[in-house]
Amino acid sequence: MLKTQLSTILFVLLLSFTAKGQIESNIINAAHAYARAQINSDVEAILNFTHPGLIEQAGGREEMKKTWQKIYDNQQSKGIRLQEFRVKEPIQHTRSSGEIHALVPVVTTSKVPGGQLITETNLIAVSEEGNDRWYFLETTSIDERNVTKVLEKWDGSLILPFKKAPVFKEDKK
């Protein structure tokens, strides 16, 4: 009897760790696809990773597309180009009202006039439980006070890290 209970407990723990690993693997794969879209300024692909709540707040898909395009055009006109978008670990995640929320630490490197700008930040990854589709929110303008305006089901169990100032590396002459 004790052996059966112990086996059952070990099996449940194994399933739990496997599910956790699968979620993190799915997030990382989606984050890499999001990174490629960002580096290539692929607005259509970025829209597919943009949280529906943000699209709705922007006035719909076409309005959000215009917003993303303006951002890229503005950056290009200023000589700013994203060079690298690297996903770091560990990824923290939680379940909240039928959604999975995760904090995904990333490091971006942008070419700017006179050098490079290296930024450590976090993305919030969101998926409905049982769904492999992930949406990402940049945390540059999101904090604990306003996160629920975008993510209604955010329960606060994940703490948004403090924002770090970007680091400028001057080009060598």
For residue 74, what are the CA distances in angstroms to 68, 69, 77, 78?
10, 8, 5, 6
Q: What is the pLDDT of residues 109-133, one digit of tens each?
A: 999 999 999 999 999 999 998 888 9
Residue 138 lies in a domain: yes
Question: Could you tell me the residue range of the domain that residue 153 belongs to?
Answer: 14-170
User: 53 with 64: CB under 8 angstroms?
Assistant: no
Q: Is residue 79 part of a domain?
A: yes
CATH number at residue 123: 3.10.450.100
Cβ partners under 8 Å of residue 125, min gap 6: 27, 30, 31, 91, 93, 100, 101, 102, 103, 104, 134, 135, 136
Of 105, 84, 98, whose CA–CA distance to 126 is shortest?
A: 98
Please report the pLDDT score of residue 136 as a whole number.
Answer: 95
Q: Is the pLDDT of residue 18 over 90?
A: no
Q: Count structural domains, the chain.
A: 1
- Whether 8 is in a domain gets the answer no
Whether 6 is covered by a domain: the verdict is: no
Beta bridge partners of 94: 101
Q: Kindly state whether residue 20 falls inside one of the protein's structural domains.
A: yes
Q: Look up residue 76 and give its DSSP letter.
A: H
74-112 per-position pLDDT tens digit: 999 999 999 999 999 889 999 999 999 999 999 999 999
Would residue 85 count as lying in a domain?
Answer: yes
